[in-house]
Structure 1
Amino acid sequence: MIVPSNEDLILEESVAETLAVEPRRPALAAANGTRFTSNIVGPLLFLRDMLSFLLAFPIALFAYEGLFGQMLVPSVHFFAATAMVGTFILLRVSKDSYLQNLFTMNERGDSAIFDALLSGLVATALVFLSGMVENFSRGVSVLYVAATVMLLSFSRWPFNSLLERMAQRGVIGQRIAFYGADPGSIEAIRKVLAASDLSHLHFVGVADDRPKLPDVPELPFIGGSDELATMARAGKVDQVLISVRNLPSARLHEIMERLNSVCVDISLIPDQAIDLAPDYRVRLIGTLPVLTVWQRPWRDVSGLLKRTEDIILAVLALIVVSPIMLVTALLIRLTSAGPVLFVQPRVGFNNEVIHVLKFRSMYSSQTDLVGLQTTTKADPRITPVGKVLRRLSIDELPQLLNVLKGDMSMVGPRPHATHMRVGDLFYQEAVKGYAGRHRVKPGITGLAQVRGLRGEIRTLERAKRRVELDQQYINQWSVWLDLWILLLTVRAVFLDADAY
């Protein structure tokens, strides 16, 4: 917590005059205010949660009395409420929910509602195990959990608005100075931080002890490490970001030695963090920080959940569409020579070749196993029955068997033929980041297909956009997203003119 004094404000104006820049209106707190770092978010979140539990108690009692008009045994229900609150706090603490700041809260979201439901179940189980069930009202228990969930849910928007107002008024704020006048690196860092939408961050200037330094746009030059220490001592800098490229360790220790006598946060940004930004996540292996560029999606529990979802949906879909598949097989057999199914090698999970099943929609003598020739709207290779099958995506239904086999998923990036091209280039050569879509199993449908990129890829721009949407799906996957895509797929089957 930082409380600026009148002397601090006078010093800030004198520093601004010395730097020959127009004094900025303080975005942070005025002299009569108090400023916190964004770490205050954790305690405020704890206060919000506890108020929700506290207010839920009279709401539940009032509702129970109005509905049932019965007396309760106070000790039993006090025990249940205490068990629920205790379990909830343990769950939140185990997730470091009360150690959050504005950045981690935006990135991780808030799992308070799920934690409240789970703690309610745990508390109920403890009542049963303690032998208090005879004097325990299930009705008031349900009402208490419902009231708590309602308050936690409805308090999200005003709580987030409160944090935003506190940041805008300077109650929550972080003044940052850069050490190292490298304009390119500083601009890259500012862009990354700006993309995080953190309104409490304020950049006060650049410091460096090296001579003949280039100007950094929109940031005043503070001076060397001594001047930077003076500003930090006066409460004008909260954090120093050291962003010097190829910085020798001896030089780094020298800078830190000059700044370690003042109360200020000192952070080092490695070169790779600037060059790769924002395509990485910071992780810890033990106590060693690492920049994770790629991470396996859908692993452990999420992988089991995805596979379970695929099996259940594929079995249900096969039950529903099996009559359509039988009729389709019969029509193909009666109207053109050749097999009913077309088995095509395509690129799947981990860049391995899988054999994708489709109802044959082309004349058997003109099929293209490797995908050298793109299918067009008036393609003469397609049979009359095949046109209907492709228009309604019925030709894709045998891929439900690929899902059950484990080669494919219900939803995911569409698998491409091994020699598929965009213009004169292979797909993987034409689009940067294309291989990243093979980190997951391909799908019968995907986000790109319900966003208007179904069917023929006519331009490089459409190919790039399809890969972008595939990557977006991988990064944002959830069961609800899969169900939403499947619902939109049904709509696209009948309304999308790009299917042929």
Structure 2
Amino acid sequence: MSSGKRQSRNKYVRFTSNVLRSGGIINDALCFLLAYALTVLIYNGWYGYYYDVRLHSSGVIVMAINFFLIRISRDAYSAFRGQGDDLGSGMFLDFIVALMLTGFTILQFGQAPDLTLRFAVLFIVLCFSLLIMSRLLFRRIVWIGMRQGIIGQRVAIYGADRDVTSRLLELLEIERLPHINIIGFADDRRTRVETGMIGRFPFLGGFEELLELARQGMLDQIIVALPLVQQDRLNRIIEELSAGAIDICIMPREFLVLRDRYQVNYIGSLPVLSIWQTPVRDLDGLLKEVQDRLLALIGLIALAPLLLLTAIAIRLESRGPILFRQKRFGFNNLEIEVLKFRSMYVDRQDESGGQRTRKGDPRITRVGRIIRRTSIDELPQLWNVLRGEMSIVGPRPHALAMRVGDAYYHDAVRGYAARHRVKPGITGLAQVRGLRGEIDTIERAKQRVEYDIYYIEHWSPLLDLRIIMETILRLVWDRHAY
């Protein structure tokens, strides 16, 4: 064991991540209950008309039962991790199906004439809104519980070497799981491991040290990450680690090599790794399309005064067009013409995108510095969204000749083309994770692509909402924009 200070054993009741499944079910049950109570309160206070209490309360109960039967039959709560990541088309579709089944039941029993439409609509709106908002609150509660040591999975990594361990830590960091607490890494072959830290994670030792942590109640799970291990050695590792009251799981070599571009599916009962799947498809695609067009239309109308003032300021400061048009890569690597407010002098613009914009760039006008700092120059892209060429949220579209270092982006970063499997966005996950502005190193370029691909593989309406809100907040103090 390293000489660092051991964690003190938690003397209070602790819960592992398995409790989140039950928490998800309780969360949704409270949403239905609260929605009904609010509906009764608002309806009685606002309208005051008579309604059949037994019929409407029974309808709510039937709908709740239908909703939970559908969710549980699909094992939808197993992935409830406190991230709000089950808020895709699955929850939306389950709610709609439960509503339809409840409606058919009321019709079948001939109770439709006695149903108060205002009451029903009010309940549906409140319940669906609470199901969405409660997931944000649920995630916050999980984070607080984790920080207090009440909930969380304390995990140690047993890796082949520092490179493998670093790779796994990187993947876990991208996942941003609120209930996972990595306490350190270990390797019994100490001659191959330099003791010390990997980032903020300490070296714990080998088998004996891990088992001791488990016996003291300070470890819940061990991830074995040995990509090239022989079967005999793996069997010995598992046998020895099984002596502790802990969960043991194995990270297959393919998961580390393929990063997170896979999904575990089943062909019958045979497990397979699906490497590439069409993202944001079917109902998800339709939902995102409607969401994008609606938000873009609202944005253009609400921001019309700001757009007009910006156009006037640009025209007064320097000669030339108000808008700057640039060819960039879009969906499926097709070229699109992206619109921006012109922020540079006309004779100094670079339409190819080969020349990076740097801090204090003399090509930028005074008005240009302001609108670039606040991202106002990106607002004309709302029109690109309305035209169906872009999304509000997605990987940022890159210019055709954009470079990182001395190489083109698509040559410098492996797997770069995968980010074009969805429409590019006005903002994206990489931008709100601190990778906005100049990308002057291969490492930063790789990180940006990592976040882009993560967004594609984990898209949900809630994730879009989070990115939009974080974008607005970060504009106030983002130092990487110029």
Pick the aligned partner of 1:80 from 26, 35, 59: 59
Residues 437 and 83 of structure 1, relative CA distance in 2, 3 Å threshold:
same
Q: Deviations over 1:341-367 (max 9, x none)?
A: x99976443335568899xxxxxxx99
Aligned to 1:299: 281
Give TM-score scaled by structure 1 length: 0.58
What's the counterpart of residue 70 of structure 1? 50
1:290 matched residue in structure 2: 273
Segments of structure 2 that go 5 or more residues without pairing to the other structure are 196-202, 309-318, 341-347, 373-377, 476-480
User: Amino acid of the residue matched to residue 120 of structure 2?
Assistant: S
SS in 2 for 1:38: coil
Against the structure 1 CA distance between its residues 166 and 44, is the aligned structure 2 distance closer, same or farther, given a 3 Å change threshold?
farther
Q: Does 1:41 align with 2:20?
A: yes
Q: Deviation of residue 132 (structure 1)?
A: 0.3
* Change over 3 Å in CA distance of 1:82–1:424 after alignment to 2: closer
For 1:141 and 1:402, the matched residues in 2 are separated by 38
Task: Identify which range, 240-249 or 295-304, moves more after superposition.
Answer: 295-304
| 2:208 equivalent among 222, 235, 238 | 222
Alpha-carbon displacement from aligned partner over 1:120-156 (angstroms, at most 9, x marks no partner): 5653453234310233333443455466567654693
Q: Which amino acid aligns with 1:44?
A: G
For 1:350, the equivalent position in structure 2 comes to 332
Q: Which has the larger radius of gyration?
A: 1
> CA offsets per residue over residues 428-455 of structure 1, 9 Å max, x none?
4466765444333457898999999999
Residues 164 and 212 of structure 1, relative CA distance in 2, 3 Å threshold: same
C-alpha deviation, 1:64, in angstroms: 4.6
The number of residue pairs the alignment matches comes to 446
Structure 2: distance between partners of 1:91 and 1:486: 35
| 1:160 maps to which of 136, 141, 147 | 141
Q: Does 1:266 align with 2:248?
A: yes
What runs of 5+ residues in structure 1 fail to find an aligned partner?
A: 1-15, 325-334, 337-341, 359-365, 381-387, 492-497
SS at 1:27 equivalent: coil
Letter in 2 for 1:108: D
For residues 85 and 27 of structure 1, do their structure 2 counterparts lie closer, same or farther at Cα, with a shift above 3 Å needed?
same
Q: Could you tell me how far 1:41 is from its partner in structure 2?
A: 1.8
Spell out, residue by residue over 1:212-268, the C-alpha distance to the aligned partner (whole angstroms, 9 max, x if none). 6746424476169xxx4x986887764343233411123323444556677643211
How far does the alpha carbon of each residue in 1:32-80 deviate from its partner, in whole angstroms, 9 at most, with x for none?
x5x4432122223323433443455555445555552636352x23431
Q: 1:373-411: per-residue Cα shift (whole Å, max 9, x none)?
A: 89999999xxxxxxx9xx999xx9999999899766687
Identity of aligned residues (%): 33
Q: Residues 308, 173 of structure 1: CA spacing in aligned structure 2 closer, same or farther, 3 A cutoff?
A: closer
Query: In 2 relative to 1, CA 84–211 (structure 1 residues): closer, same or farther, beyond 3 Å?
Result: closer
Does the C-alpha gap of structure 1 residues 98 and 178 become closer, same or farther in structure 2, counting only changes over 3 Å? Answer: same
SS at match of 2:281: coil
CA distance in 2, matches of 1:398, 1:20: 57
1:242 aligns with 2:221: no
Q: Is the 8 A contact 2:9 2:216 kept in 1?
A: no
State which of 105, 109, 114 in structure 1 corresponds to 2:82. 105
The structure-2 alpha-carbon separation of the partners of 1:84 and 1:411, relative to structure 1 and needing over 3 Å to count, comes to closer
The answer to whether the Cα contact below 8 Å between 1:176 and 1:240 also exists between their aligned partners in 2 is yes
Q: Distance in 2 between matches of 1:259 and 1:469?
A: 33
Give the direction of change, closer, same or farther, for the CA distance of 1:66–1:206 in structure 2 (3 Å limit): same
- The CA distance in 2 between the partners of 1:71 and 1:137, in whole Å, is 6
Cα deviations by residue, 1:56-107 (Å, 9 ceiling, x for unpaired): 5555445555552636352x23431221111221343255343346xx3326
Partner Cα separation in structure 2 for residue 392 and residue 349 of structure 1: 27
CA distance in structure 2 between the aligned counterparts of 1:220 and 1:282, rounded to whole angstroms: 31
Question: 1:196 is aligned with what amino acid?
Answer: L
Cα distance in 1 for residues equivalent to 2:87 and 2:169: 26
Which amino acid is 2:149 matched to? Q
Q: What letter corresponds to residue 72 of structure 2 in structure 1? A: V
Tell me the equivalent position of 1:141.
120
* Aligned equivalents of 1:448, 1:256: Cα separation in 2: 38
Cα deviation, residue 26, structure 1 = 0.3
Distance 1:147 1:458, change over 3 A: closer
Q: Quick one: distance in 1 between partners of 2:242 and 2:439?
A: 60
SS at match of 2:23: helix
Query: Partner amino acid for 1:123?
Result: T
Aligned in 2, Cα 1:52/1:115: closer, same or farther, shift over 3 Å? farther
| CA distance in 1: counterparts of 2:30 and 2:382, whole angstroms | 49
Alpha-carbon distance, 1:465 to partner: 10
Q: Which has the higher contact order (CA 8 A, sep 6+)?
A: 2
Distance in 1 (alpha carbons) for counterparts of 2:233 and 2:215: 22
After alignment, is 345-354 or 247-256 more displaced?
345-354
Q: Flag the 1:425–1:122 CA change in 2: closer, same or farther, 3 A.
A: same
Question: What amino acid maps onto 1:130 in structure 2?
Answer: F
With over 3 angstroms needed to count, the CA separation of the structure-2 counterparts of 1:482 and 1:296, relative to structure 1, is farther
Match of 2:343 in 1: none
1:321-332 to 2 correspondences below 5 Å: none
Residue identity opposite 2:273 in structure 1: V
Structure 1 residues 62 and 154, CA gap change in structure 2 (3 angstroms): same
**Partner secondary structure for residue 247 of structure 1:** coil
Name the counterpart of 1:132: 111
Q: Against the structure 1 CA distance between its residues 139 and 262, is the aligned structure 2 distance closer, same or farther, given a 3 Å change threshold? A: same
Map 1:404-443; keep pairs closer than 5 Å.
418-419=400-401, 425-429=407-411, 434-441=416-423
SS of 1:92 mapped into structure 2: helix
